[in-house]
Amino acid sequence: MAGTPKRVLRFMPFLTEAGPARSVRVYRNKEVIYSQGSPADAVFYLQSGAVKLTVASPHRGKKAVLAVLEEGDFFGEGCLGRERQRISTATSMGSSTVTRLGKNAFRQKIDRDPAFAAMFMTYLLSQIARFKADLADHFLNSSERRLARILLTYRGFLQKSKSGPFTLGLSQSALAEMVGTTRSRVSTFMNRFRKKGYVRYNGGLQIDPERLTAFLQG
């Protein structure tokens, strides 16, 4: 358990308890965990790997990346409220291990365990703040600055790659979806970042957080 993020350890006792409402599955790269419009009947917990949440417009044929989730994140928690159908699609990026928890069992845990409920509420509030920052960034900043912020946000698993510039499926196409621009523009920005020393390639993508932060601060 050495090196396991604290947020993972907080929820581990409940997630490792045996029970018919819990199941663990390993997903392959690009395998869909649940689809937009499918029944919302469970909460999912990401034990390892990464998961991408996307939403597609049924009328315009466009798709947007809502978030990339890391180890220790929950998703599908909308079923605990009024969500009856999934409003997004969850897809594994690389290999991922995911725990599925039935909606009713999860609600019972929240009702009966105040400490767990408090931890989960703290987690949800931090996620809401993160998503608000992402939304503001999308509307207020340029594509180049949005890319810089994404690289800073996800640098923890970007640096784990040993076989290429991006890890866990974060190709330039995926980054373009997250930024809301084209792959060619992301390529242009990355080349510019490399020339300025914000990023470098040494068996994988590595970033300089101080220089990227300075860039974002103007």
Which residues make Cβ contacts (< 8 Å) with residue 36, sequence separation at least 6? 54, 55, 56, 86, 87, 88, 89
Query: Facing residues of 46 across strands?
Result: 98
Amino acid 192: pLDDT: 93
pLDDT at 181 > cutoff 90: no
- pLDDT (tens digit per residue) in 90-102: 999 888 999 999 9
Q: What three-state secondary structure class fits 59?
A: coil
Task: Read off the pLDDT band of 1 (50, 70, 90).
Answer: very low
- pLDDT (tens digit per residue) in 13-70: 677 665 778 899 999 988 999 999 999 999 999 988 889 899 988 777 778 888 888 8
Query: Facing residues of 70 across strands?
Result: none
Mean pLDDT on 163-181: 64
203 in the Ramachandran plot: left (φ > 0), alpha (ψ -120 to 50) or beta?
Answer: left
Mean pLDDT on 146-164: 66
CATH 1.10.10.10 in the chain, residue ranges: 142-216
- pLDDT (tens digit per residue) in 100-119: 999 999 999 899 989 889 98
- 202 vs 159, which has greater pLDDT? 202
Instruction: Please state the φ and ψ torsions of residue 106, each to the nearest 5 degrees.
Output: -70, -40
Task: Read off the pLDDT band of 5 (50, 70, 90).
Answer: low
- 191 vs 160, which has greater pLDDT? 191
pLDDT at 161 > cutoff 70: no
Amino acid 12: pLDDT: 65
CATH class of 6-137: mainly beta
Mean pLDDT on 125-142: 82
pLDDT at 75 > cutoff 50: yes
The per-residue pLDDT of the chain, averaged, comes to 82
pLDDT at 180 > cutoff 60: yes
CATH 2.60.120.10 in the chain, residue ranges: 6-137
C-alpha closest to that of 35 among 8, 16, 60, 58: 58
CATH assignment of 142-216, among 1.10.10.10, 3.40.50.300, 3.40.390.30, 2.40.30.10 = 1.10.10.10
Kindly report the number of other CB atoms within 10 A of residue 147's CB atom: 25
pTM: 0.75
Mean pLDDT on 150-162: 63
Task: Read off the pLDDT band of 205 (50, 70, 90).
Answer: confident
Task: Read off the pLDDT band of 7 (50, 70, 90).
Answer: low
